[in-house]
Structure 1
Amino acid sequence: MNTRYIAGLSLVTMGVGFVTTLFLPENPYVELLKGGFEAGLVGGFADWFAVTALFRHPMGIPIPHTSLLLKNREKIANSLISALENELLNKESITKKLQKFQLMRVAGSALVKLAGKKRNRISVLDFSQALLARLPLEAMVPYLQSGIASIIRKTDAQALAEKAVDAAIRGSWDEKALDYALDQGRAWASKPETGYMLGSIAQQKITEAKVGGLMGFAVQAFAGFMNEEKLGTMIQQLLLSGIQDLIQPGNANRERLLAEIRNRLLSVAGDEEMLARGKEWLADKALQPQTEQFLVERLEEIRGALIEALEKEKLSGGKIVVAALRFVIRKLQAEQEMAESAERKVLSFIVDFVEANHYRLGVLLKDNLDQMNDKELVRMLEEKVGGDLQWIRVNGALCGFLIGLVLTCIQWL
């Protein structure tokens, strides 16, 4: 039953009871009831007046200090906004409540529970696939190119080159590079067509040589004696013999060659002008349309591979989601400081966000209140708190009735 009807019924009961006692014969019991109903009628009417005065003018009469909520709606709205901003949503209270909440632990438990269901794991994989498919790679690549070029320009090329040369020398990469070059040279020099080519070049250059006197006679005699095949074979053998000597560890020529390579590397690492030109060349190269096309193609390949891997994972039930979640949880449990730091950062973000934007809630509350007319505001308040206020009227009538009984007894005494 509506509390307003109950409150009205209590007041009517007191009124009817009082009127009835007026027509009953005089006796102590009637007098006692009359005193109780009279006091209950006064108490119920007084509480009706008080409760009604909160929302409207009683009986439509503009009695002073009535219709309090409507007269003070601006003050009430400002008080609610002030309480919301300064008491309910201030930084200290939010921080304390969130710290008691143990956000990371609750979030971890919730995620583990959700990941235990297959449909949730599949949903995560579907979302990941959709997100990957919708990534605007072509729009992202220019930013990626700019980032790469910026990193190249900001990099200390000399320090990087010195570290690279030092790492190459300590790792014997210079020797490995030399051995690789010698192996390739030996393979090339061992080919029959290489010997023929070298013999042809040598024969041609000897023929073209313009040397007079005894030396000229000797050269011409040598050229007549040697043909292209013999010359090629001889040069080929000389090359192979020289390469074989350079391959042997500890060979003096090998050591001198390695020393020269290392000196050249160190010289390059210390050449600031050349390194600056190299940096600028790389940065310009990173911004070229060809580089953009290359990056787009590589990113498309990576995206396709990831989508295909996620599709296979869906067929297996999405166990990778559970594995990833367990890895993160184990990592956070093992790194307690990292977990605490992460929780502090999350809490700080939430608190700062709420503190920076809680005024919007006040603005929203004020706007909504301003949009409501008096009737709508009264109706809303009566729906929310009017029911509890009507019990004041019921209690007033009952308390008045009991007090009336007590007062009548006091009069008798």
Structure 2
Amino acid sequence: MRTRYIAALSLIGMGAGFITTLFLPDHPAVTLLKGGFEAGLVGGFADWFAVTALFRHPIGIPIPHTSLLLKNRDKIAKSLISALENELLNKESITSKLKKFQLMRIVGSAITKAASKRSNRTGVLRFLQKLLVKLPLGALVPHVQAAVVTMIRESDARPIAEKALNAAIQERIDEQALDYALREGSAWVDKPETGRMLGAMALQKLSEAKVGGFMGFAVQAFAGFMNEDKLGPMIQQLLLSGIRDLMEPGNPNRERLIAELRQRLRHVAQDEAMLERGKIWLEAKAAHPDSERFLLQRLESIRESLIAALDKEIDGGGKKVVIALRFVIRKLQAEQETTDAAERKILSAVADLVETNHYRIGLLIKDNIDRMNDKELVRMLEEKIGGDLQWIRVNGALCGFLIGLVLTSIQLLS
């Protein structure tokens, strides 16, 4: 080490100066220098002995109270561990430091800065693409299917049915379903073949009707006068007119029909037996192998759509990543209390984790120290703190020289 050579040179310089003054003629200046070099030599040797005694026996002689670090390596290790556990890593000190650590702001700033670079945005998107491509959907599907079956089995069907019914009524889905059925029915009724079929059915039922007296004569006369080509269009027009009335908003018949429909739906939503049968049917369908294939197809389709969307976003430079990030930041800023609470929980969890496991750090330190032999330990300590300690030797030699000058001056003046 460079400082060791400087310390050695300071000691050699003092010794050389002292020897030189022995051969010079008597003179007050020589006497003064001799006293300074003598005291500097003594101070340099004394500090060399003190510094060396920390790491090893000076000159290899086992002088008492030398090689202090090696003799007290266990005590030093225990002291380091104790200081680490009780002073540096206790919960109070950790908590006080973490309170000053604004986690969300630092993380948000780092993410925002990273997202400002196009290469980072596209890199994240490509990483997500690779994850999607490598995602084992075949192995994932059984778990998804099992989760769906469990959810159906353990769910309470009645609250779900009532909530779904209320939502459907509020969104007027029941009316939309009725209008759809009426439109489809109207399209079917308006077909020519439907008219012929209705005419034929009506004539057949008229001929089968057993009505006596004048009414029977009238029915038979009407049946004889009509045929399916005449009767069918007539029935079609009647049905189409009725359907149009039911499709007209505010029509009394429509309102009564919707009210009856809703009443029936409410009855179904409260029928425990029917809901239980529905649950059993849904559970069986969800557990069927066809459902597994259906889930796999849907997941594959979703994956392809996501990969295509990510490709498009990569070509665009990942601008939507910035938009999404800004949206999240605005949401977090709007929910400042929630964000602060989350930050406190995270920092508290970190503090608890460190406090719970800081003894492991101590054990690691002790284990590493125990693994080192004496030579390795001394070399490591000298590399870390030996340089600063060598300056003690330099300061000792210089201070001794100055003190020697002062003491010799006093002797000359007395």
Other-structure match for 1:111:
111
SS of the counterpart of 1:64? coil
Other-structure match for 1:145:
145
- Taking the aligned partners of 1:349 and 1:133, their CA distance within structure 2 comes to 35
Other-structure match for 1:306:
306
Compute the displacement of 1:218 (Å): 9.5
Q: What amino acid maps onto 1:123 in structure 2? A: G
- Taking the aligned partners of 1:164 and 1:321, their CA distance within structure 2 comes to 35
Other-structure match for 2:268:
268
Decide which moves more: 101-110 or 265-274: 101-110
Task: Say if 2:89 is the partner of 1:82.
Answer: no
Other-structure match for 1:279:
279
Compute the displacement of 1:56 (Å): 0.7
Distance change (3 Å), C-alpha of 1:133 and 1:175: closer
* Structure 1 residues 276-295: Cα deviation after superposition (integer angstroms, max 9, x where no partner): 33233323433333222222
Distance change (3 Å), C-alpha of 1:214 and 1:111: closer
* Structure 1 residues 150-205: Cα deviation after superposition (integer angstroms, max 9, x where no partner): 33344332222223333444454444433332332232222221233334455666
Compute the displacement of 1:382 (Å): 0.7
Matched-pair identity in %: 72
Other-structure match for 1:404:
404
Other-structure match for 1:97:
97
Q: What amino acid maps onto 2:77 in structure 1? A: A
Task: Say if 2:57 is the partner of 1:63.
Answer: no
* Structure 1 residues 67-115: Cα deviation after superposition (integer angstroms, max 9, x where no partner): 1111121222222223233322333333333333423323333333333
- Taking the aligned partners of 1:174 and 1:316, their CA distance within structure 2 comes to 43
Other-structure match for 1:297:
297
SS of the counterpart of 2:132? helix
Correspondences of 1:4-403 after superposition (within 5 Å): 4-201=4-201, 227-229=227-229, 232-233=232-233, 235-237=235-237, 239-240=239-240, 242-244=242-244, 246-247=246-247, 254-403=254-403
Decide which moves more: 2-11 or 271-280: 271-280
Q: What amino acid maps onto 1:274 in structure 2? A: M
Decide which moves more: 70-79 or 278-287: 278-287
Q: What amino acid maps onto 2:328 in structure 1? A: V
Decide which moves more: 340-349 or 2-11: 340-349
Over the aligned positions, Cα root-mean-square deviation in angstroms equals: 3.3
- Taking the aligned partners of 1:252 and 1:130, their CA distance within structure 2 comes to 60
Q: What amino acid maps onto 1:134 in structure 2? A: K
Q: What amino acid maps onto 2:68 in structure 1? A: L
- Taking the aligned partners of 2:319 and 2:244, their CA distance within structure 1 comes to 57
Compute the displacement of 1:308 (Å): 1.8
- Taking the aligned partners of 2:155 and 2:315, their CA distance within structure 1 comes to 45
- Taking the aligned partners of 1:243 and 1:318, their CA distance within structure 2 comes to 53
Compute the displacement of 1:390 (Å): 0.7
* Structure 1 residues 126-149: Cα deviation after superposition (integer angstroms, max 9, x where no partner): 222222222222223333233333
- Taking the aligned partners of 1:247 and 1:29, their CA distance within structure 2 comes to 127
Distance change (3 Å), C-alpha of 1:263 and 1:228: same
Distance change (3 Å), C-alpha of 1:122 and 1:252: closer
- Taking the aligned partners of 1:107 and 1:280, their CA distance within structure 2 comes to 49
- Taking the aligned partners of 2:201 and 2:175, their CA distance within structure 1 comes to 31
- Taking the aligned partners of 2:58 and 2:249, their CA distance within structure 1 comes to 113
- Taking the aligned partners of 1:321 and 1:186, their CA distance within structure 2 comes to 49
Q: What amino acid maps onto 1:109 in structure 2? A: S
- Taking the aligned partners of 1:211 and 1:158, their CA distance within structure 2 comes to 50
- Taking the aligned partners of 1:326 and 1:220, their CA distance within structure 2 comes to 81
Distance change (3 Å), C-alpha of 1:223 and 1:270: same
- Taking the aligned partners of 1:202 and 1:231, their CA distance within structure 2 comes to 8
- Taking the aligned partners of 1:105 and 1:392, their CA distance within structure 2 comes to 46
Distance change (3 Å), C-alpha of 1:317 and 1:243: closer
Compute the displacement of 1:6 (Å): 1.5
TM-score norm. by structure 2 comes to 0.86
SS of the counterpart of 1:65? coil
- Taking the aligned partners of 1:316 and 1:405, their CA distance within structure 2 comes to 80
- Taking the aligned partners of 1:258 and 1:284, their CA distance within structure 2 comes to 32
TM-score norm. by structure 1 comes to 0.86
Distance change (3 Å), C-alpha of 1:181 and 1:328: closer
SS of the counterpart of 2:5? helix
Q: What amino acid maps onto 2:32 in structure 1? A: L
- Taking the aligned partners of 1:287 and 1:114, their CA distance within structure 2 comes to 45
Q: What amino acid maps onto 2:358 in structure 1? A: H
Structure 2 unpaired stretches of 5+: none
Decide which moves more: 155-164 or 210-219: 210-219
Decide which moves more: 396-405 or 11-20: 11-20
- Taking the aligned partners of 1:105 and 1:313, their CA distance within structure 2 comes to 27
* Structure 1 residues 205-248: Cα deviation after superposition (integer angstroms, max 9, x where no partner): 67788999999999988877765545545554554455455456
Q: What amino acid maps onto 2:297 in structure 1? A: E
Corresponding residue pairs, total = 413
Decide which moves more: 339-348 or 242-251: 242-251
